[in-house]
Structure 1
Amino acid sequence: MNALRSHGAGWLPTIILALALLPLLLKVPTAAGFTGAILTYPFQVDDSEGVILSEAQWLARGVDPYQPARDDFFTAAPYTPIYTIINAAAFAVGSFTFKVGRGVAWLATLAVAAIIGALVLGRTHRPLLALWTILAILTTNLISIWSVRARPDHLALACNLAGFAIIWWRWRTLMATSGEATAARWRIDRAAWRIIWLTAICFALGFFTKQTLLAAPVAIGLGLLLARPRLGFAFGVIYGSLVLLPFAALTLITRGGFYQHIVAFHSSWSARDFLLLWGPFVARYWPPLLLGAGLPLTVLLTALKAPDKLAHLRADADLLPALYLPVAAFFALGAGTHGGNHNHFVETIVVALFCSALLIGRLLDLPKNTLNWRALTPTLLVALALVLGAEARFGGTNWLARDFRQPLPQEREGWRNVAAFVTNDPGPVYADNVGLLLVAGKEVRYTDPFSLAYATRTDQWDDRALVARVERGEFSLIALRYDLFATAADGGGPNDLTPGLYTAIRAHYRVIERNVMTLYVPR
């Protein structure tokens, strides 16, 4: 009887882990439907899509999108160049399309899920736990939204996770001397040099895909400094050189334009803007954040109980993921920068799911004291899966309802009509939807109205030449997302229009059509 009970106790966690897959499997059709709809959608779904792809189109034509802003040519160029170059290569041999950029982002998301799944499997040796993590990443709404937008976020994250995986998989090799004399820990052998070089290269690729994804290299640097100080210092020097030297070279080549676009145009930060995004994010995703936070807490408490606390912490197999989660949460502060969005929280939720799976695996590997403890541990994962399965109803309001949905038929029809109208217009067109101009085959000389307005407010760009063009009626058509005459009572224009543009359009243009965009022509 005892043998039978023991056999049942061994199978029970596996059965419960299998049950934890069901809520996520039920989300797959919705996630797949959303992914397919956006991948094939012919219009812009995020402002940055048009901005990035217009700059890729200029690059494909041999025009530097990072050149200093001119009176007659303003590009936001908010991201480092690798993703832009990939899209430019596609535009050099084919016509404009959103599909390439979105496809790259989607493939990068698959890579992110695969890397995390492989890390969980390698650490826990539990295939069901690895599969759960992969499904959780691929079906979480916030991650799905950004997985099919023509943006560099997920490609940069995939590069960083590749670097994280390289060093974590070889952590035991790097820590082989951690229990020896202090002098031994300061030695770096040839194998260690190879590991940190490969890791630093992956992180540098991540930086030059999107410069704000710094959590992984910082977490790795902290872990190395804690365990092998000289190795951590060497990693920092190598990574810093791989980032700063090309950055300085690009700044010189572009006559200061690269720094202007990457740093100066996007250097603002607002606590209010951050909290407006952070509050709904935490309200919706606090269960995975809380469970994931259990891993760094467990690592810390376990080390505190050990006789040699620092040595135990260095030797803990989960040290790097335990560092990664709080560092990722810290860098989520980037959501408060000018034009920031909830894409800044994607890395945090990915790492929280990663740490949640590692925590469950860690608890399941504890001594089998009681049947109840062994059974209860994977039920945490079932509860989390149920929360993720019903996330649209979690947190009070459906925070992501506007983003996580398939475009409605009337929206598609509206965009087709407006795109046809803009395409048939013979003159230059100004629009705050840059993707519309790309679809219509119009030249884009002013990208990202938000950055343009911010640069004007901070005296980094002078909009007088653009305002004069509007006053002269040089744009045969202006397309905006709002009716400027309907907002007149609000006491000012929208935050993506400079005061000069707001006044000039109202004085010299009139509305001719209200659709998904409001269209204006000269009076």
Structure 2
Amino acid sequence: MTPNAAAAGSRKSTLLGAAALGLPALFLLLHLWGLPAKLRYPGELNFVEGMPLAEMVHLRQGVPIYAPVSAERYDAANFGPFYYLVGSQLIDPAQPAYLPLRALSLAGTMAAALLAALMAYGLARSRPAAALAALLFLSYGFVIRHGASARSDMVALAIVFAGFAVAHRFRAGRAILWGVPLMVVGFYYKQQFVAGPVAVFIYLLVERRFRLAAQFAGLMTAGVLAGFALCQFVIFRGQAFVHHFVFYNVIPFEVVSLISGMGFFALILFVPLLVSLEYLKNYPDRLFLTYLISAFLLSLVTVARAGSDTYYFLECALICSILFSALLARRISEPGRAPELLTLLVVTLFVGQWFRTPAPSARDFQEDSALQAFLTSRFPRGTRTLSYHSGDVIRAGLALPFTNLYHYNQLIRNGVVDGQEMPGLITQRHFGLILLDFDLHNEPSDYYAEFYLTRAIRDSICTHYHQVETIDMPGPERIRDYAKLYVWVPNSESAADSSGPAPAP
């Protein structure tokens, strides 16, 4: 090759590298532009934020959130206990807010991106690969959507992935076991991310290192059992922690959820998966291959749970960002192949914006303020309330005996709870307020009506309560086409003292 040709090739590689880094950086800037508004928005950014916030408030108030489900109250507490223990120390129970929890989640997101950069650098020995891995991961719309919300996903992912990174770094010897403590801690922050431990165990079996595989499995099992014992007999002594963490968390699988999850995978992650497999074909890494396969298979299975969402694919996005970046870094100097990968990167970046959520608007802030003003002015502090919108209720100072109505309804369908207990409370006008986000009289879909509340509960509300008002629902909280909250109060205020403070736990 002549000096001129070499120089031209070098310039082309530099331009391709700049494009590869510049494109995801642009999309990340779009996300960052709306990030301040998301962090400081006082209402729920998604449907799940309010439930754990209410449970953290209860935990700070001394309520036994892992108590067995009863006719009087139910805190689902269906995420990992470490999430509640940490989060409850960050909030003010008198004025609960999402900002500290969102900041913690964002820190977990940044930690996961940093780990992705370190792993990509380790694979390709390339700083551009490291930068691209972090940028690509953060450019996904659904990553920032969950990463900026008050959820447990990103912190748990960062902790578990740190454990996998340790295991991968020391996979040649017994030091692979050093990743176990982090994996166990991550499991108790959120029990979703088990692909890493599964991958390490299978990898050791494939490598025929049976003794080490047994030691790894034994340490993981011992760690999980120790966590169970710590929570059941020490931290939440006298409560039903195991029931909440395991049995109450059993949600039925739905074909609709599976099809939706497979569609998301095909649209967002199919191309990155192919590129990742191409990397592993040319630069074999059995542990990473096992991790990639385990993560995708487990994601496709768990996303079939009723009520699931795109957070089940966060781990897949993280893995693919690393492998995609490593392959592009290795191919960037190959004129015939780098443009092809760059094209696939562009496709990945554009389709990755599909599930990006807009930042809350000024109107959203106004509607949230109006909702809080309505609740605080119309209902005395401590009024027992039944609602799916747990965060709105708890922020207004109202009592929320049932923090997660969806899970409570699943317990009824699973036969864990008597289906007549809640209708009985409603018949007694136990609640001073029932706040719904759908019209009981005109719900067009039997599927969604049953999804929200059982027939017996709906009939009891219609019989013993009446709707007094509808108010605008803040935009970020809206599901499907609903834009209103429906306010129901007891038919006879004298029938029960439902507007007074809830009984002490």
Residue pairs, 1:440-459, within 5 angstroms: 440-459=396-415
How far residue 10 of structure 1 moved from its aligned partner, in angstroms, is: 4.4
The 1:7/1:488 distance shift into structure 2, 3 A limit, reads closer
Match of 2:109 in 1: 109
| Residue 261 (structure 1) aligned with residue 231 (structure 2) | no
| Residue 485 (structure 1) aligned with residue 441 (structure 2) | yes
Contact 1:17 1:129 in 2 (8 A): no
Match of 2:293 in 1: 326
Matched residues in 2 for 1:130 and 1:90: separation? Answer: 32
The 1:244/1:411 distance shift into structure 2, 3 A limit, reads same
Give 1:43's aligned amino acid. Answer: G
The 1:488/1:24 distance shift into structure 2, 3 A limit, reads closer
Matched residues in 1 for 2:260 and 2:167: separation? Answer: 36
Unaligned runs of 5+ in 1: 175-191, 300-315, 365-370
Contact 2:267 2:351 in 1 (8 A): no
Unaligned runs of 5+ in 2: 474-484, 492-505
Moved more, 354-363 or 101-110: 354-363
Could you say what the CA RMSD is over the residues aligned between the two structures, in angstroms?
Answer: 2.4
Match of 2:206 in 1: 226
Matched residues in 2 for 1:160 and 1:221: separation? Answer: 15
| Residue 382 (structure 1) aligned with residue 357 (structure 2) | no
Match of 1:183 in 2: none
Give 1:322's aligned amino acid. Answer: L
Matched residues in 1 for 2:102 and 2:161: separation? Answer: 20
| Residue 391 (structure 1) aligned with residue 374 (structure 2) | no
307, 310, 318: which one aligns with 1:350: 318
Match of 1:292 in 2: 276
Residue pairs, 1:40-439, within 5 angstroms: 40-91=40-91, 95-172=95-172, 174=173, 192=174, 195-227=175-207, 228-248=209-229, 250-251=231-232, 257-267=240-250, 268-298=252-282, 316=284, 318-332=285-299, 333-363=301-331, 374-391=334-351, 398=354, 400=355, 404-424=357-377, 425-426=379-380, 427-439=383-395
Matched residues in 2 for 1:148 and 1:511: separation? Answer: 35
The 1:272/1:297 distance shift into structure 2, 3 A limit, reads farther
The 1:13/1:168 distance shift into structure 2, 3 A limit, reads farther
How far residue 474 of structure 1 moved from its aligned partner, in angstroms, is: 3.2
Contact 1:121 1:130 in 2 (8 A): yes
Q: Would you say how many aligned residue pairs link Structure 1 and Structure 2? A: 471
Matched residues in 2 for 1:468 and 1:500: separation? Answer: 10
| Residue 475 (structure 1) aligned with residue 437 (structure 2) | no
The 1:387/1:200 distance shift into structure 2, 3 A limit, reads same
Matched residues in 1 for 2:109 and 2:228: separation? Answer: 26
Contact 1:152 1:210 in 2 (8 A): yes
Contact 1:511 1:519 in 2 (8 A): yes
Match of 2:481 in 1: none
Match of 1:22 in 2: 22
Give 2:346's aligned amino acid. Answer: L
The 1:158/1:518 distance shift into structure 2, 3 A limit, reads same
Matched residues in 1 for 2:446 and 2:182: separation? Answer: 48
466, 471, 485: which one aligns with 1:510: 466
Contact 2:435 2:488 in 1 (8 A): yes
Q: Give the fraction of aligned pairs with identical amino acids, expressed as a percent.
A: 23
The 1:233/1:441 distance shift into structure 2, 3 A limit, reads same
The 1:2/1:159 distance shift into structure 2, 3 A limit, reads same
Match of 2:480 in 1: none
Contact 2:140 2:352 in 1 (8 A): no
Give CA-to-partner distance per residue, 1:379-432, whole Å, 9 cap, x none. Answer: 244223322442268xxxx5x26xx11224333322222222112212322211
How far residue 249 of structure 1 moved from its aligned partner, in angstroms, is: 5.0
Partner SS for 2:146: helix
Moved more, 98-107 or 336-345: 336-345
